[in-house]
A and B are shown apart, each in its own frame.
Chain A
Amino acid sequence: MFWKQSTTGVNTKEVKAILDEKKAKMKLSLKACAHCTLCAESCFLFMGRNKDPKYMPSYKFLNSVGVLYKKKGKVDRLDLGEMRDLIWERCVLCTRCYCPVGIDIPDMIALARRVCRSQGVYPQYERD
């Protein structure tokens, strides 16, 4: 029996439409990432947190846009919540991450943020 993910509370059509706008770039970026980890040291958050792999730009990009792409936009609120923590709390979008094969990681993170924003998922800065 197949398990069907509940996407209640997420306008998956809207998510898909946003992803489609950058489908080619997203697909190529995901395909091109060789998991070489060379982007890691260009991230000050990665360097400042004992090189925690969860702060690697590639990790952030693969676990946000990668998930959205893989699920073809059919994500649930939980997915988006997890994504929010990843792309806002572990990334300040300083746009300084460097990829030797030329993946525009900041653009990909910005795309994931855009998807989250479209569904009302964004950081709460007044949170304690």
Chain B
Amino acid sequence: MVKAERKPIEEIKDAINGYEKVLVTGCGGCVSVCLVGGQREVNELNAQLNIYLKNENIEKQLDGYTVERQCNDQFLEELEPKIDNYDCLLSMACGAGVQNLAKRFPKIPVFPVVNTVSIGIDKDIGMYEERCRACGHCVLGYTGGICPVTRCSKGLFNGPCGGTNNECCEVSQEIPCAWLDIFNRLKAQDRLDDIKKIYVPMEWHNQTPRTIIQEPYEKRYSV
């Protein structure tokens, strides 16, 4: 799922500077699961902001409301009657949710509260590790289920660089070399032939927003 972390409180405070009535909008999706943007976190942020504002003798109306998912228009409907009562929205959703909210209510400023960090896994309560960068060209099939784009600091596709050092990455002695892990896993599966082929580098440049239409729905959306 998408993982995110909250922005520093100063940045959030700066964003709402000049707006009197603020609605903090939570999201019940991924950001709820990674404990950064759900209903509880909305309440926590409001409480924290209220203390800060009180200390600085600033008066604002801060309210909170959590919708099921900000990345789905259907769930934004319930915000419709509330929006006119506010000068700006703080969104606790991921980048996609913030954009959807801003698009749905274009007359009102929307500010993000969290930085969307990665697509990751839950390591432990409140601890998440990045596993995917949504590059759009999955190579896990030949790398033994270890992503070289995410795990290798250089995102290499054809084996390790010269910097691999004592099983670790040259960037840090705490980061294991992704390509060593790939090699070991494929060796254990007797699949080393998979990485003998040369793969062309990823074309990162000129990326435009990717819209996907699943095959069974192609007819439905064709013009």
- Please determine whether B78 and A114 come into contact, CB atoms closer than 8 angstroms: yes
For residue B46, give the distance in angstroms from its CB to the closest CB of chain A.
Answer: 13
- Please determine whether B38 and A113 come into contact, CB atoms closer than 8 angstroms: no
Docked Cα-Cα span, A126 to B32, in Å, equals 10
- Please determine whether A122 and B75 come into contact, CB atoms closer than 8 angstroms: no
- Please determine whether A123 and B32 come into contact, CB atoms closer than 8 angstroms: yes
* Given known contacts A113-B28, A114-B78, A126 and B35 CB-to-CB distance under 8 angstroms: yes
- Please determine whether B68 and A113 come into contact, CB atoms closer than 8 angstroms: yes
Q: How many residues of B contact A (CB 8 A)?
A: 17
- A51 on the B face (CB < 8 A): no
* Given known contacts A122-B28, A123-B32, A125-B32, A117 and B66 CB-to-CB distance under 8 angstroms: yes
- Please determine whether A125 and B68 come into contact, CB atoms closer than 8 angstroms: no
Near A by CB (< 8 A), chain B positions 1-44 give 28, 32-35, 38-40
- Please determine whether B39 and A117 come into contact, CB atoms closer than 8 angstroms: yes
- B212 on the A face (CB < 8 A): no
- A107 on the B face (CB < 8 A): yes
Q: What residues on B are CB-neighbors of A106 within 8 Å?
A: 74
- Please determine whether A110 and B68 come into contact, CB atoms closer than 8 angstroms: yes
Docked Cα-Cα span, A117 to B26, in Å, equals 11
- Please determine whether B35 and A93 come into contact, CB atoms closer than 8 angstroms: no
Contact of A122 among B39, B69, B78 (CB under 8 A): B39
- Please determine whether B35 and A125 come into contact, CB atoms closer than 8 angstroms: yes
Least CB separation from B33: chain A residue: A125
Q: What residues on A are CB-neighbors of B39 within 8 Å?
A: 117, 120, 122
Near A by CB (< 8 A), chain B positions 55-98 give 66, 68-69, 72, 74-75, 78
* Given known contacts A93-B68, A93-B69, A113-B28, A125 and B78 CB-to-CB distance under 8 angstroms: no
- Please determine whether B69 and A125 come into contact, CB atoms closer than 8 angstroms: no
Chain A 94-128: CB-based contact to B (< 8 A → 1; otherwise 0): 01000000000011001001100100101111101
For residue B114, give the distance in angstroms from its CB to the closest CB of chain A.
Answer: 15
- Please determine whether A126 and B68 come into contact, CB atoms closer than 8 angstroms: no
For residue B76, give the distance in angstroms from its CB to the closest CB of chain A.
Answer: 11
- Please determine whether B75 and A110 come into contact, CB atoms closer than 8 angstroms: yes
For residue A91, give the distance in angstroms from its CB to the closest CB of chain B.
Answer: 11
- B126 on the A face (CB < 8 A): yes
Residues of chain A having any CB pair with chain B under 8 Å: 93, 95, 106-107, 110, 113-114, 117, 120, 122-126, 128
Residues of chain B having any CB pair with chain A under 8 Å: 28, 32-35, 38-40, 66, 68-69, 72, 74-75, 78, 125-126
- Listed from nearest, the 7 A-B pairs whose CB atoms lie closest are A126-B125, A122-B39, A125-B33, A110-B68, A117-B66, A117-B39, A126-B35
Complex A-B: 16 CB contacts under 8 Å: A93-B68, A93-B69, A110-B74, A110-B75, A113-B28, A113-B68, A114-B78, A117-B39, A117-B66, A122-B28, A122-B39, A125-B32, A125-B34, A125-B38, A126-B35, A126-B126
